[in-house]
Amino acid sequence: MDKQRRTFLKLAGATALAGLSAPVVVNLNATPAMASAAAAGHGEETRQGMRLGLLIDMRKLYGRTDLLDKATEACHRVHNVPKIEGKKSEIKWIWKTAYANAFIDQSVNHASKITRESEFLVLCNHCDQPPCVRVCPTKATFVEKKTGIVAMDYHRCIGCRFCMMGCPYGARSFNWMDPQPLLKSVNPDFPARMRGVVEKCNFCGERLARGQEPACVEAVKEVGAIIFGDLNDPNSEIRKVLDREHTIQRNAALGTKPSVFYIV
Partner 1 sequence: MIEKALKGNSNYWMWLAFLTAFIAVGAICYLRQFIYGMHLTGMGRDLSWGLYISQFTFLVGVAAGGLMLVLPYYIHNYKVFGRITILGEFLAIASIVMCLMFIMADIGQPLRGLNMIFHPTPNSMLFWDMVVLLGYLSLNVICGWVILTAERKQVKPPKWVYVFVYISIPFAVSIHTVTAMLYCGLPGRHFWLTAITAPRFLASAFAAGPALIVIACLVMKRIANFDAGKEAINKLITIIMYAAIINAFFVCLEFFVGYYSNIPGHKHSLEYLFFGLEHHGHVYNNLVPFMWTSVTFCFGALALFAYMKITKMSNDLLVGIGCLMTFIALWLDKGLGFVMGGLAVNPLDEVVEYYPTANEIGITLGIWATGFLLVTILYKIAVKVEHEVEGH
Return residues touching partner 1 (CB under 8 A).
87-91, 97, 100-102, 104, 122, 131, 134-140, 156-162, 164-170, 173-178, 195-198, 251, 254-256
Minimum distance from CB of 120 to partner 1 (Å)? Answer: 11
CB nearer partner 1, residue 22 or residue 100: 100
CB nearer partner 1, residue 21 or residue 107: 107
Minimum distance from CB of 134 to partner 1 (Å)? Answer: 5
Minimum distance from CB of 95 to partner 1 (Å)? Answer: 10
Q: Kindly list the distances between the CA atom of residue 62 and the CA atoms of 109, 118, 150, 233, in Å, as whole numbers in the listed order.
A: 20, 6, 29, 29
Minimum distance from CB of 186 to partner 1 (Å)? Answer: 19
List the end-to-end C-alpha distance of the chain, in Å, as a whole number.
49
Minimum distance from CB of 195 to partner 1 (Å)? Answer: 5
Minimum distance from CB of 238 to partner 1 (Å)? Answer: 25
CA atoms of 130 and 249, how far apart (whole Å)? 14
CA atoms of 90 and 81, how far apart (whole Å)? 10
CB nearer partner 1, residue 46 or residue 251: 251
Q: Find, among 39, 255, 250, the residue nearest to 125 by Cα.
A: 250
* List of residues 6+ apart from 176 with CB closer than 8 A: 88, 89, 195
CB nearer partner 1, residue 19 or residue 196: 196
Minimum distance from CB of 222 to partner 1 (Å)? Answer: 28
Residues 57 and 194 sit within 8 Å (Cβ to Cβ): no
CB nearer partner 1, residue 169 or residue 262: 169
CA atoms of 248 and 262, how far apart (whole Å)? 5
CB nearer partner 1, residue 134 or residue 145: 134
Q: Kindly list the distances between the CA atom of residue 159 and the CA atoms of 101, 163, 164, 207, 210, in Å, as whole numbers in the listed order.
A: 26, 9, 10, 26, 29
Residues 236 and 242 sit within 8 Å (Cβ to Cβ): no
CB nearer partner 1, residue 54 or residue 157: 157
Q: Other C-beta atoms within 10 Å of 40: how many?
A: 13
